[in-house]
Amino acid sequence: MLDKIRKINIKKAGVCSVTIGVINIIVHILIITQTMPYTWVNGGRSVSYELARQTSLSSIYITIFNIIIALIASKIIPLKMNKFWSKFLTIFLVVTLPLGLIGIGEQFLGTIFEKCCMSIVAIIGFLSDTRIAVEKRW
């Protein structure tokens, strides 16, 4: 199974993961600028714009961190790492995969916008992240 996943080009998976991250950031910027209603995200559970804004800002910071990790792990940014950091990166990526699955579930339980649009984004992101996580690094 892992051999089939590893046949996917690692850099293409990295570009896909970064693209998904950028889409996520754009959606949150639209929420912050009030271009998109805040009730369309977070399952419609945000009780105020201010709460949705704080959640969106946190999501942007986390997404930027994930984009940097994806760029390094997919070798788009070539960074020479010793065995410790290679193992650390792999373990980090594998441990965060279940969070991606939870995110997909949350999208399907959310608003119509989340079910129709963001669930597809979450699935593509999860598949890309899975490919990046199973890369042999040592």
- Enclosing domain of residue 67: 2-133
pLDDT given at position 138: 62
34 assigned to some structural domain:
yes
> How is residue 111 annotated by DSSP?
-
69 assigned to some structural domain:
yes
- Copy the structure tokens of residue 134: 């199973």
pLDDT, tens digit, 9 for 90 and up, residues 3-58: 888 889 999 999 999 999 999 999 999 999 999 999 999 998 999 999 999 999 99
**Total number of domains in the chain:** 1
30 assigned to some structural domain:
yes
pLDDT given at position 24: 97
32 assigned to some structural domain:
yes
pLDDT: which is higher, 58 or 136: 58
CA 83 to CA 19: how far, in whole Å? 29
121 assigned to some structural domain:
yes
pLDDT, tens digit, 9 for 90 and up, residues 67-124: 999 999 999 998 888 889 989 999 999 999 999 999 999 999 999 999 999 999 999 9
79 assigned to some structural domain:
yes
Place of tokens 């390094």: 72
138 assigned to some structural domain:
no
pLDDT: which is higher, 41 or 1: 41
pLDDT given at position 5: 85
- Copy the structure tokens of residue 41: 């995200």
71 assigned to some structural domain:
yes
The pTM score is 0.90
Contact 52, 42 (CB under 8 A): yes
